[in-house]
Amino acid sequence: MHILNLIRWKNLLLIVIAQLLIKYALFESFDIITTLNALGFSLLVITTLCIAAAGNIINDIYDLETDGINKPNQVIIGRQISENLAYNLFFTLNIVGIILGFYLAHSVGESSFFAIFVIISLALYVYASYLKGTVLFGNILISLLVAMSITIVGIFDLLPAIIPQNRATQLTFFDIVFDYAIFAFLITLIREMVKDIQDVDGDYKAGMNTLPIVLGRERANKIAFLVSMIPIGAVIYFMVTYLYTQPVAIGYFLLFVIGPLIYATIKIFGASNNFHYKHISLVYKLIMLFGILSLLLYPFIIKTA
């Protein structure tokens, strides 16, 4: 159980749900041409999980000092799991993920796609070892990597299957996947900003230069508030573009996505202590979940279209 907590199994489960729903609720519902069979898709999921889990481990290794201050009761490395074992798990998961990624890229006839996994692995290490303690750069990088865990399904399953006859259809569905990736990017970016404000004391003692340390908690709070309004507009645009003829889908997004987004934005505006920021972070995690679960609407959409 300690290893599961170390690799942050709940976050990994969210990735699995997102990738499964993109494949089977979106692509399969519309019977479009795809590249990955069940085995190939399983390898993509496993590869993503291995590299993401390795990234979570190296992040915890470099966060030992700050976590000891910000959340001492949740520290795993050095207590339940030795640092040496954590490093071994990090290297093993990375090696397995990259080997599987190499095989997967060749199996879809796009050897260059292998570079994606190598870049993601390196980026996770750079984030944990250096960029996490910088002003916004680390926030943006980790948000891009979360978005990539969604986009990668379209890259491997749609792009290699493009032919002149289906190009428009394939790219339309890739655009939908990319829109969900943008949503994931924005929600993760806001959560990371909120977490930086929450962890400002420990980060300051560790010598980091996050946004609230450089600008102060109050100014960082205002920036997070402004950024939190962007996904509200983005989701409304998505609804108007793709779902304007689907009242059930519109109702779902209004109730489970836009409503909570507005609630979280209001809470950010009035946040003043760690309890508030922890609550806001949880709300955004639920928003991410409900946003991903909206993919379950697509089988219904095609039946009523």
pLDDT digits (tens), the chain, 305 positions: 788 888 999 999 999 999 999 999 999 888 789 999 999 999 999 999 999 999 999 998 988 778 777 777 778 887 888 989 999 999 999 999 999 999 999 999 999 999 999 999 999 999 998 888 888 899 999 999 999 999 999 999 999 999 988 999 999 999 999 999 999 999 999 999 999 999 888 888 878 889 999 999 999 999 999 999 999 999 999 888 888 888 899 999 999 999 999 999 999 999 989 899 999 999 999 999 999 999 999 887 755 54
Domain holding 132, by residue range, is 2-304
Sign of CA dihedral 42, 8, 229, 210: negative
Instruction: Specify the length of the chain in residues.
Output: 305
pLDDT for position 177: 96
**What tokens appear for 47 in the block?**
């590869």
Q: What is the DSSP letter of 72?
A: G
Between CA 77 and CA 270 the distance in angstroms is 35
Distance in angstroms between the alpha carbons of the first and the last residue of the chain = 45
Pick from 218, 304, 205: nearest CA to 269: 218
Runs of H (alpha helix) within 114-166: 114-129, 137-157
pTM summary value = 0.94
Are 76 and 149 in contact by the 8 Å Cβ rule? The answer is: no
Between CA 116 and CA 159 the distance in angstroms is 14
Number of domains in the chain: 1
**What tokens appear for 199 in the block?**
């962890």
pLDDT for position 64: 79
pLDDT for position 188: 97
Alpha-carbon distances of 103 from 67, 107, 111, 112, 121, rounded to whole Å: 37, 6, 9, 11, 16
Name the β-bridge partners of 77.
81
pLDDT for position 142: 95
Q: What is the DSSP letter of 134?
A: S
Between CA 111 and CA 114 the distance in angstroms is 6
pLDDT for position 305: 46
